[in-house]
A and B are shown apart, each in its own frame.
Chain A
Amino acid sequence: MNAYAKPLPAINEQSRPYWDAAKAGRLELPRCDHCGAFHTYFEPWCSHCGGEGVHWERLSGRGRIWANCRFHKVYFSGFETDVPYNVAMVELEEGPRMVTNIVGLKHDVLDEMPIGMEVEAVFDPVTPEVTLVRFRPSKRTP
């Protein structure tokens, strides 16, 4: 079996719930105890209200492509045979934006993943410990 060569997240105690949830097929993010803002970082302090303390909440996994690009240059080992590959920022329907890849495209070109397109989360176990949250075109889209 080939070792997984791409970067893996350096999971710490603050981020472990995110990765545990992903492994179980759920998208969860930390949410501020005070103002309810979702965070896309794992420190317990809120950039929105300045409060301290978060709890974890499940999100729907539905959202829209907010920004997109396609890498032709290899910045990390493991991507040598993937280039060109896409990266998107998806704005979840609950508000926060996440960096991800869009899967399930025919030709894997940017025209197939325009800004505004509806997408939904899929859970991609890349190692026994790590499941990445990627997105595919929403099945609800006609």
Chain B
Amino acid sequence: MALTSNRKDSVAVVGVGMTSFGKLPDHDATSLGIWALRNAAEDAGLSLADIDGLCFHRLADYQKFVQITALSPRLLTVNPGAGRMLGGTMQIAIQAILSGMLDIVAVVYGNNGSSAGARYGGKGDQYGTSADQLWFPYGMSSPGAIHAMAFQRHAALYGTTTNQLAEIAMTFRRHAGLNPHAVMRKPVSREDYEAAPFICEPLRRLDYCLINDGGVAIILTSGERAKDLKQKPVYVRGFAQLSRLAQGELPEDFGYATMQSVSQRVHEMAEAEREDIDALMIYDNFTPTVLFTLEGFGYCPRGEGGSFVEGGTLALGGELPTNTSGGHLSESYMQGWALNVEAVRQVRGELGDRQVRDAQLVQYLQGGPLSTSIIYGSDQP
């Protein structure tokens, strides 16, 4: 049977671990990954030696990793450091468990982007097909510029405003203020937003995610095995992914059709509707992405993302608490992974001041032309 349902033997997250976030110049990406995995193993009550599969994302030095951890994985993969590869990395881990090939798999992410001076734009940037010939000579580069253009189109079509973007930046920053782990915790006002310099107009610095160092690890196992472990299992109730680039980086529907397909499949697998979801974790590389993602996943009508986020909809205590950690805009840019940890911890109910009360189902959403969604839940399907 195709893995369109996980009813047979669901997969559970049994351990999560993170490094501290910020500038960590004594660590490379691999070292950050080891640090995170050690924390995740401790969280799970497992020893490193219990882990029989390693799926790396961004951190590339698998040799150093496996040597220092003295692991003997029966699955070892490395995905390159684009946030969009989170989906594929998780798919490998989930399928390895569902197929019965492996017992305990860790997905491990390490990012020393701040200390290594990572730039998202300029020579060598991965955005844009034939960019070295058809973009760079015009000064065109960077994911930020693509999102600035996408926002401009959204504004022209639907009347969306930068005031509505400010709402997102302010809301997530307020959440980060409740998260001792977050890099940026000082509240921002509308005036602060408007005083922030343009990076690629109309987007300002506060529309952009952070660049920082850090690592994240998530340990997964079968629902069966999870019952005997230390933490209350958090089940991967639904998973779906779709990668489409035939229209390039800036599809004319903002990725809507792609996200609709992912949305339909993830809810179907989870046997849960949108109304059942208690909190969202949205891949917020830029503020406009949040609007496109809410629309693409059907949380608001198409074109109405801007007005939807007004009035505290995404705030803790609001209708749809989103990015309770502060997200990429304010907590940490861990290319989706820290948001997945936040989702797991919301379901566990261990987040104190920023806990969404009685969170049973939390959905991770990654929008755009390459889209992933995961629904985490407290019960097996």
Which residues of A does B touch, CB under 8 Å? 6-11, 15, 18, 40-42, 47-48, 66-73, 75-76, 79, 82, 84-85, 87, 89, 97-101, 110, 114-116, 126, 130, 132, 134
Contact = CB atoms under 8 A, between A and B. Distances in A.
Interface string B130-170: 10111111111110010011101100100000000000000
Given A7-B136, A72-B198, A130-B137, A87 B145 contact: yes
B199 A7 contact: no
A31 B248 CA distance: 17
Contacts of B156: 114-116
A115 B246 CA distance: 22
A66 B202 contact: no
Given A9-B132, A110-B201, A87 B150 contact: no
B317 interface: no
A58 to B, nearest CB: 17
A74 to B, nearest CB: 9
B250 interface: yes
B130 A40 contact: yes
4 interchain residue pairs of minimum CB distance: A67-B149, A70-B201, A69-B148, A9-B133
Contact of B198 (A10, A68, A84, A115): A84
Contact of A66 (B130, B153, B201, B203): B153
25 contacts: A8-B137, A18-B133, A40-B248, A67-B153, A69-B148, A69-B203, A70-B198, A70-B200, A70-B201, A71-B200, A71-B201, A72-B200, A73-B200, A75-B119, A75-B122, A76-B122, A76-B123, A76-B139, A84-B201, A85-B139, A87-B145, A89-B250, A99-B128, A99-B140, A126-B137
Contacts of A98: 134
A71 B145 contact: yes
Contacts of A10: 132-133
Given A7-B136, A110-B201, 19 more contacts: A15-B133, A41-B129, A41-B134, A68-B149, A69-B200, A73-B199, A75-B139, A75-B142, A76-B122, A76-B123, A82-B139, A85-B139, A97-B248, A99-B138, A100-B138, A101-B139, A115-B153, A115-B156, A130-B137
A43 to B, nearest CB: 9
> Residue among A10, A71, A87 with the most chain B CB within 10 A?
A71
A68 B119 CA distance: 22
A89 B248 CA distance: 12
Given A75-B122, A76-B122, A132 B137 contact: yes
B109 to A, nearest CB: 26
A7 B131 CA distance: 11
B245 to A, nearest CB: 9
Contacts of A7: 123, 132, 136-137
Contact of B139 (A42, A48, A79): A79
Contacts of B248: 40, 97
A87 B134 contact: no
Nearest to B157: A115
Chain A contact residues: helix, strand, loop or mixed:
loop
A10 to B, nearest CB: 5
B197 to A, nearest CB: 7
Contacts of B198: 70, 72, 84
B139 A87 contact: yes
Nearest to A67: B149
B148 to A, nearest CB: 4
Contacts of B125: 75
A67 B136 CA distance: 17
A41 B130 CA distance: 6
Given A47-B246, A69-B145, A69-B149, A6 B139 contact: yes
B137 A69 contact: no
B235 to A, nearest CB: 38
A47 B130 CA distance: 14
B121 interface: yes
A110 B119 CA distance: 25
> Residue among A15, A73, A130 with the most chain B CB within 10 A?
A73
Nearest to B149: A67
Contacts of B140: 87, 99
A99 B148 CA distance: 14
Interface string B181-223: 0000000000000000111111100000000000000000000
> Residue among A66, A76, A126, A130 with the most chain B CB within 10 A?
A76
A109 to B, nearest CB: 9
Contacts of B128: 99
Contacts of A71: 139, 145, 200-201
Nearest to A48: B246
Contacts of A66: 153
A98 B149 CA distance: 13
A69 B133 contact: no
